[in-house]
């Protein structure tokens, strides 16, 4: 960036091979090394001294072999259309689809959630989002009150409302997420109450769903467990299979959780409050 790059990314140079190394991290986790072989991609405005600037940046970074530097010209394109082409409708089940606003619904008879990629997490493509959506499809009968904690884009709460749950509340720590969730709820013509985490939350719910990350889920165990009404359910994701026991242990003083489903190394944890 000091050499004038407009954008810089670092990627696994071995991606797509047997040497590919997935990275999973979250706030509060110990810092982990990245990849054995990394590829740095930088976007620059055209300039005559571009090679010299790239070489200077490489040397500062400790790269002395400059033979692998490659410069390519990026042609002008319709970037909006190119970006949109990367997001196709997503089938969750036969009866539930996530459809970007610029696409026609593949199955007009299904419940189609209109959702575009945005600042807040939750487009339906991530395994943890899919795991939660599948549970909602299988278990909502209509009339349940639902809490979507860490709602992000609002996708889980919106899906619950479209499937018949009422009322539905979304809670998030990020003001931008709440704005995105409000817009998405309006676009899907559903009522979804929204609340910031700084506000008190004393209600109980028939269904509490939280697709966050392991560390915050563990910290939030007393709060989230207390929000489940007697006979109600809690559904948690954002948890790697290797972290499931940690989350189950954190909730054990309040209610019993078990692994309900797995997908691509992620798990969905489920529990029911019996008292």
Half-sphere exposure of 79 (CA within 13 A, CB side): 3
What's the rounded mean pLDDT across residues 115-143?
A: 87
User: How confident is the model over 226-267, as pLDDT tens digits?
Assistant: 999 999 999 999 999 999 999 999 999 999 999 999 999 999
- Report how far residue 13's alpha carbon sits from residue 37's, in angstroms, rounded to the nearest whole number: 5
State the pLDDT at residue 224. Answer: 97
Q: Where along the chain do its domains lie? A: 7-60, 136-272
Cis peptide before 167 (omega within 30 of 0): yes
Q: What is the pLDDT of residues 235-244, one digit of tens each?
A: 999 999 999 9
At 171 the pLDDT is 97
Reduced to 3 states (helix: H, G, I; strand: E, B; else coil), residue 142 is coil
Q: Is the pLDDT of residue 28 over 70?
A: no
Helix (H) or strand (E) segment spanning residue 8? strand 7-12
pLDDT digits (tens, 9 = 90+) for 46-61: 988 998 999 899 888 8
Instruction: Give residue 119's pLDDT band: very low, low, confident or very high (50, 70, 90).
Output: low
pLDDT band at 27 (very low <50, low <70, confident <90, very high): low
Q: Which residues contact 194 (CB under 8 A, 6 or more apart)?
A: 151, 154, 169, 170, 171, 172, 178, 181, 182, 185
Sign of CA dihedral 179, 183, 184, 189: positive
Residue-averaged pLDDT of the chain: 91
List, for residues 50-108, the tens digit of each pLDDT value.
Answer: 989 998 998 888 888 888 888 899 888 777 677 767 788 999 999 999 998 888 999 99
Q: What is d(CA 189, CA 236) in angstroms, rounded to the nearest whole number?
A: 26
Q: Are 176 and 150 in contact (CB under 8 A)?
A: no
- In this prediction, residue 82 carries a pLDDT of 72
Between CA 66 and CA 69, with CA 67 as vertex, the angle to 5 degrees is 70
Return the CATH number of the domain spanning residue range 136-272. Answer: 3.40.50.150
pLDDT in tens, 194-220: 999 999 999 999 999 999 999 999 999
**3-class secondary structure per residue, 35-68:** CCCEEEEEECCCCCCHHHHHHHHHHHCCCCCCCC
CA distance 90 to 264: 16
Say if residue 273's pLDDT is above 80.
yes
As a whole number of angstroms, the distance between CA 51 and CA 72 comes to: 11
Check residue 151 and give its pLDDT: 96
């Amino acid at each position: 960036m000091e050499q004038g790059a407009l954008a810089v990314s670092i990627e696994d140079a071995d991606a797509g091979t047997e040497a590919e190394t997935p990275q999973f991290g979250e706030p509060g986790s110990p810092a982990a090394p990245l990849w054995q072989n990394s590829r740095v991609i930088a976007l620059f405005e055209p300039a005559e001294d571009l090679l010299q600037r790239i070489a200077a940046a490489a040397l500062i970074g400790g790269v002395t072999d400059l033979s692998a530097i490659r410069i390519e010209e990026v042609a002008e394109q319709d970037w909006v259309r190119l970006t949109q082409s990367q997001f196709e409708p997503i089938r969750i089940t036969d009866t539930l689809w996530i459809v970007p606003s610029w696409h026609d619904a593949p199955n007009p008879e299904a419940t189609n959630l209109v959702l575009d990629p945005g600042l807040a997490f939750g487009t339906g493509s991530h395994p943890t989002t899919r795991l939660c959506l599948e549970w909602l499809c299988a278990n909502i009968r209509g009339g349940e009150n639902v809490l979507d904690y860490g709602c992000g884009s609002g996708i889980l709460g919106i899906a619950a409302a479209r499937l018949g749950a009422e009322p539905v509340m979304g809670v998030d720590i990020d003001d931008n997420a709440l704005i995105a969730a409000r817009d998405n709820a309006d676009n899907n013509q559903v009522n979804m109450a929204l609340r910031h985490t700084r506000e008190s939350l004393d209600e109980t719910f028939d269904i509490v769903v939280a697709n966050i990350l392991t560390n915050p889920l563990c910290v939030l165990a007393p709060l989230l467990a207390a929000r489940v009404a007697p006979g109600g359910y809690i559904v948690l994701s954002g948890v790697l299979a290797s972290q499931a026991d940690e989350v189950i242990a954190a909730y054990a003083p309040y209610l019993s959780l078990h692994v309900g489903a797995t997908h691509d190394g992620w798990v969905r944890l489920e529990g029911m409050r019996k008292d």
